[in-house]
Amino acid sequence: MGRVLRRPLRCQPEAVKQAARRLIAELRIARNSRGALRMFESLRGREHLSVHLGCGGDIRSGWVNIDLFDRGRPPLVPAAQPQTVVISHDLRLGLPLDESTCDLIYSSHFFEHLSFANGARLMRDCHRALRSGGIFRAALPDFRADFEAYLRGDDRFFAPLDEHGLMHGFEPRHRTLVDYVNYCVYQYGEHVAIYDEQKMIRVLLDVGFTTAAPSSFRPDVDPHSDLRRRYSFFVEAVK
């Protein structure tokens, strides 16, 4: 299918090419969705689950780790970790776990990759899947800190982005502080929504959580990454 769509694109405007690439990607995602449903079906009857949404390469032992992996092929789990599950699934379609089966649902720098509507629907699904007293926790980009650093002209705040090679898309010879804001907010087009503590808390309370509040870094659950700790805010909600 992809080859058929690509042939006439060579002479098309870039906007048409980009739209075709997005269509090809969506078709590939839809094609790979059947395996994910089988994996979720295998979890029926299990309780006290810990779930990692948008896990990327941070596969957690004993957890249900979910992300949309390239070509629908999640990493293999070692045989020594029989309770560890890795599922390639499009979370825009929701979280197909049974009601009240999860103790903890966690995500780090994931919800900004979803539209507000898809994010709210997923948070509602997380509330359904959590048991009474279960915890939803999220780390998200701290855009407020980025904007404040920009307004005070604080080059040092953004220095770790250069140190980790994340600014490769911006020409060094005419780079200014606004380029760092562009990276943090848009991340080369991967970010589609901006949250702050107030926005997250309002949505979480609206979908039914009993409490929702800002939180500090938790080394027992948050990634041990200087970048994530420096550029994140944390919110925790209880069903």
pLDDT in tens, 121-165: 999 999 999 999 999 999 999 999 999 999 999 999 999 999 999
Q: Quick one: tokens of 55?
A: 């896990």
The predicted pLDDT at position 37 comes to 84
Domain ranges of the chain: 1-31, 45-239
Amino acid letter, residue 226: D
pTM above 0.95, yes or no: no
Alpha helices (H) along 68-140: 116-129
Amino acid letter, residue 44: R
Which H or E run includes 104? strand 102-108
How many whole angstroms separate alpha carbon 164 and alpha carbon 2? 34
Contacts of 117 (CB under 8 A, 6+ apart): none
14-63: per-residue pLDDT in tens? 665 555 555 455 455 556 666 788 899 999 999 999 999 999 999 999 99
Q: How many CB atoms lie within 10 A of CB 54?
A: 21
The yes/no answer on whether domain 45-239 falls in CATH 3.40.50.150 is yes
The predicted pLDDT at position 18 comes to 57
